[in-house]
Structures are given as C-alpha cells and as structure tokens.
Amino acid sequence: MLGDKADTMTGPKETEPVVETPLKASVYGRIKKWLPLAVLLLLMIAAFSQGLHQQLTLSNLIMQRQDLVGFVQQNFVLASLVYLVAYVVCVALSFPGASLLTIAGGFLFGWIAGGFVTVIGATLGACAVFIVARSSFGEVLTRRAGPFLSRLAEGFRREGFSYLLFLRLTPVFPFWLVNIAPAIFQMRLPTYALATFIGIIPGTFAFAFIGSGLDSVIEAQEAASPGCAAAGTCQVDVSALVTPQLLAAFFALGIASLIPVVLKKVRAR
C-alpha cells in the first residue's frame, strides 16, 4: 500500500493545456491578417524599384523573338509552365501591360494554347490578390462601410457572379481594381474564381489571336526597314489592332451578363 501510494505521489503529472492569453491571440491574429499583404507590398516595391515592369514591352518581345521561339519549340511544356508562373506573378504584383503579355502568349504558343494558359494564369493571379485583400482589409472596410456601401455590398454578394462577369467582360475597369473590389464586399472565392475565369476568356483569346498574327506584321516591318527587329525599332502599333468593333463586342457581352439580374428585379416587382 505504501508503495502504491508512493508511486501515485511521484508518478507523472498530467500536462495542463496551454491557454493563450487574449493579448497573444490578438497579436497572432493581426500577424496572420496583415502578413500576406505586407509580403505582397514588399514584393511589389522590390519589383517596381528594379524596373522589372519596364521589361514588358513590345520592343523587347520583337528583339528576343528568335530566342524565345527557339526555346518554346524545344521545350514547349517547360516554356508553358514558365509563362504561366510569370503571368501569375505579374497579375499578383499588379504589373501594367497584361494585354501585352497576353499578346506574347499568343505569339509564342499560338492563340489556342497561349489563350488557355493565359486564362489559367490570370485567374490564379487574380485569386491570389483577392485572398490577400479579403483577409487583410476587406472585413475592416465592410464593418466600417456606410449605408450606401453596405447596400452595394449586399447586392454584390447576392448577384456577385453577374456583376463581376460584367466588370471582367467590359474593358473599362483596370484589372487590378476589379481584383480588389469584390474582396471589399466579401464575395465568396469560388464565385469570384468562376466569374473571373469565364469573364476573361473573350478578351484573352482576342488578344492571343492578335499575338498569333504578330509575326507577319514584324516581317512586313522588316521588309520595309531591314534590321528593325534586331534593333527593336519596328513600328508596331498594338492599339491599332484593337478595333472599335472588338471593343463593342466586349461591351455587348458585358451588358448581356447583366440580363439575369435585370430579369430577377423585374419579376420581383
């Protein structure tokens, strides 16, 4: 009995659960909320300060087209993956000139493969920005929103798919702004990803198709001014390739995406 009692007294004690103090939980919550945004901002500052966004020019594409085309022909899968990662990074860091990168994709991979990879890369990059924005300041702005913004947010959550589809289809609003706005309204990620994926398909494949015909434009410029491709002085106006008819088609698709919302409101009345 004494031995049993001694064993009981000297036996291992049960480990008490560690309880986090409110202060520690608050600090951890703040770090978890703001760290992704801080990392993204630091990467953006580093990239822009190094002038990486200035490398996305048509002149650079024309000057390096032989090397790029040769690399793609020899390593198509690897080149596609590199292009995909580059597109995700460019969208996540809000680099200007996404349309030019889309043209480059059509030029290097063809309009079908280039357009498909671009849609995936743009969707992944947009989702990354959306997740960071929603977890960081989306909830804060939603709590502090006024009555008008609250009603707008409620409507966006209710008909978010159609609204975001409209914003994606109409080439008026900056891509980076459309990535952030739904986060403020606490839109669901699956709805955001699906609307983004579908909404950018027409514009992406249109620009990829333009890129697939860029080689003939360069050859015409080379015939008129030999050596301009190597020197990066070929005069290729991409804006001239984007016709008013093409923009009108995008607007028509955008308006069509709002038809379900209008019909629902009419039926409700």
User: With pLDDT > 90 as the criterion, what percentage of the chain qualifies?
Assistant: 19
Is residue 189 a contact partner of residue 130, using CB atoms and an 8 Å limit?
A: yes
Cα gap 263→107, rounded to integer Å? 41
Among 19-23, 28-32, 154-158, the least confident range: 19-23
Residue 117 is predicted with a pLDDT of: 96
Q: Please indicate whether residue 123 or residue 148 has the higher confidence score (pLDDT).
A: 123
pLDDT mean over 55-72: 81
Residue 109 is predicted with a pLDDT of: 93
Token duo for residue 99: 């349309």
Among 21-25, 133-137, 247-251, the least confident range: 21-25
pLDDT mean over 122-131: 92
Residue in this structure with the two tokens 């901002």, named with its chain if needed: 41
Q: Is residue 173 part of a domain?
A: yes
Residue 15 has pLDDT above 70, yes or no: no
Residue 17 has pLDDT above 90, yes or no: no
Residue 241 is predicted with a pLDDT of: 64
Quick: pLDDT tens for 183-234.
877 788 999 999 999 999 988 998 898 888 887 777 776 666 776 666 666 6
Q: How many residues does the chain have?
A: 269
Q: Is residue 23 part of a domain?
A: no
Single-letter amino acid code for the residue at 25: A
Residue 248 has pLDDT above 90, yes or no: no
Cα gap 107→121, rounded to integer Å? 16
Task: Give the DSSP letter of residue 187.
Answer: -
Q: Is residue 24 part of a domain?
A: no
Select from 166, 61, 167 the least CA-distant residue to 114.
Answer: 61
Quick: pLDDT tens for 87-102.
999 898 888 777 788 9
What's the distance, CA 42 to chain centroid? 18
Please, what is the average pLDDT of the chain?
76
Single-letter amino acid code for the residue at 214: L
pLDDT mean over 38-59: 76
Q: Is residue 10 part of a domain?
A: no
- pTM, 2 dp: 0.74
- Residue 178 has a CB neighbour count (10 Å cut-off) of 20
Q: Is residue 106 part of a domain?
A: yes
**What sections of the chain are H helices per DSSP?**
2-10, 22-49, 58-63, 65-74, 76-92, 98-109, 111-133, 139-143, 147-158, 160-169, 175-184, 189-199, 201-212, 214-224, 228-231, 238-241, 244-257, 259-268
Cα gap 29→155, rounded to integer Å? 29
Task: Give the DSSP letter of residue 18.
Answer: P
Q: Is residue 26 part of a domain?
A: no
User: 27 pLDDT band (50/70/90 cuts)?
Assistant: low
Q: Is residue 96 part of a domain?
A: yes
Residue 82 has pLDDT above 90, yes or no: yes
Number of domains in the chain: 1
User: 123 pLDDT band (50/70/90 cuts)?
Assistant: very high
Q: Is residue 3 part of a domain?
A: no
User: 148 pLDDT band (50/70/90 cuts)?
Assistant: very low
Residue 78 has pLDDT above 90, yes or no: yes
- Where in the sequence is the domain holding 264, given as residue range(s)? 57-268
